[in-house]
Amino acid sequence: MATKQLMAKIERFKKTLESERQLLIADLAMALHAVDSTEVQRVLQKLKTLSCDEIVDALADEESQEVNRILNRLRAVDASLAQTELGLYGFCADCEKSIETDMLQRDATTQRCYACDQIHKHVIKNNKRILL
Ligand SMILES: [Zn+2]
C-alpha cells in the first residue's frame, strides 16, 4: 500500500479512536456518578483534565464492574492512539505485517492480523492442554 494511502487510513482510525475515547469518558462519568465515594467524586470533577493513565491509577481500587469494563476499553483505545503517534499503529503484534483493514474496522484497537488472531484464540482455548 502506498504510504500516502496508509497515512490516510491511520488518520481515519485515529479519528475513530479519538471519538471512542470521548464516548468512554462520558460513559465513565455516568458510571462514576452512581458511585457513593468522595474520592471517586473528586476524580469525576477533574476527569476531563486527567490522562488515561491518571484515570486508571485514580480508580485502581474501584470495584464496579461497569467502571472496570470502561477502564479496560479506555486503556486499549489509549494504547492504540499512542501507536498512531509512534507510527506503530495497524501492525500485527505477532508477525509485524499490516493488520487487515476489516479487522481494524471491526475493532480499531485490534493488535493482531487475522491469521495471528486465529492462532491466538486457538492457543487461549487450548492453553490448558498445551501447559499439561
Ligand atoms: Zn500477524
Q: Convert the pLDDT of each residue in 17-49 to its tens digit.
A: 999 999 999 999 999 998 889 989 999 999 989
What pLDDT was estimated at residue 2? 64
What's the 56 CA to ligand 1 centre distance in angstroms?
Answer: 29
- C-alpha–C-alpha distance, residues 48 and 82, integer Å: 18
What's the 32 CA to ligand 1 centre distance in angstroms?
Answer: 37
* 109 three-state secondary structure: coil
Across 41-60, average pLDDT: 92
Is the pLDDT confidence value at 75 over 80? yes
What's the 58 CA to ligand 1 centre distance in angstroms?
Answer: 34
What's the 36 CA to ligand 1 centre distance in angstroms?
Answer: 44
Is the pLDDT confidence value at 132 over 60? no
State percent of the chain over pLDDT 70: 95
State percent of the chain over pLDDT 90: 77
Across 108-124, average pLDDT: 94
Cell numbers 487487515 label which residue?
Answer: 100
Across 78-101, average pLDDT: 95
Q: Which CATH number fits domain 3-131: 1.20.120.910, 2.60.120.10, 1.20.120.550, 3.90.226.10?
A: 1.20.120.910
122-118-17 Cα angle (round to 5): 125
What's the 104 CA to ligand 1 centre distance in angstroms?
Answer: 13
Q: Which of 80, 78, 84 is nearest to 109 (CA)?
A: 80
Grade residue 6 by pLDDT with cuts at 50, 70 and 90: confident
- C-alpha–C-alpha distance, residues 42 and 70, integer Å: 18
